[in-house]
Amino acid sequence: MERLVRHFQFNGEEQLVIEAVRENFPVLREWIAGIVDELQFQSREKKQILISCDEIFTNISGYAYGESIGKVSVKAEYLPSEQELHIVFCDDGIAFDPLKSGTPDIQSRLAERKVGGLGLFMVKKMMDDVVYVRQDDRNILTLIKKSKTENK
Partner 1 sequence: MKAVFDKNANSLTVSIEGSIDTVTAPELDSQLQANWAGITELIMDLAAVDYISSAGLRVILMASRQMEECDGSMTVRNVNDDIKEIFEMTGFDSLLNLE
One of 35, 41, 55, 73 touching partner 1 (CB under 8 A): 55
Assess 23 for contact with partner 1 (CB under 8 A): yes
| Residue (54 or 91) nearer to partner 1, CB | 54
Region of 23-31, 71-79, 83-91, 143-151 interacting with partner 1 (CB under 8 A): 23-31
**CA distance to 1, 81, 96, per residue, from 51 (Å):** 34, 25, 20
Alpha-carbon gap, residue 59 to 65, rounded angstroms: 10
Alpha-carbon gap, residue 15 to 127, rounded angstroms: 21
Assess 78 for contact with partner 1 (CB under 8 A): no
- Measuring CA to CA, which residue among 77, 82, 95 is closest to residue 138? 95
**Identity of the residue numbered 50:** L
| Residue (40 or 80) nearer to partner 1, CB | 40
Region of 67-75, 86-94, 114-122, 128-136 interacting with partner 1 (CB under 8 A): 114-122
Give the three-state DSSP class for 119: helix
| Residue (7 or 34) nearer to partner 1, CB | 34
- Contacts of residue 55, defined as CB under 8 A and 6 or more positions apart, other chains included, come to 119, 120, 122, 123
The residues binding partner 1 (CB under 8 A) are 22-23, 25-26, 29, 43-44, 47, 50-51, 54-55, 57-58, 61, 106-107, 109-111, 113, 115, 118-119, 121-122, 125-126
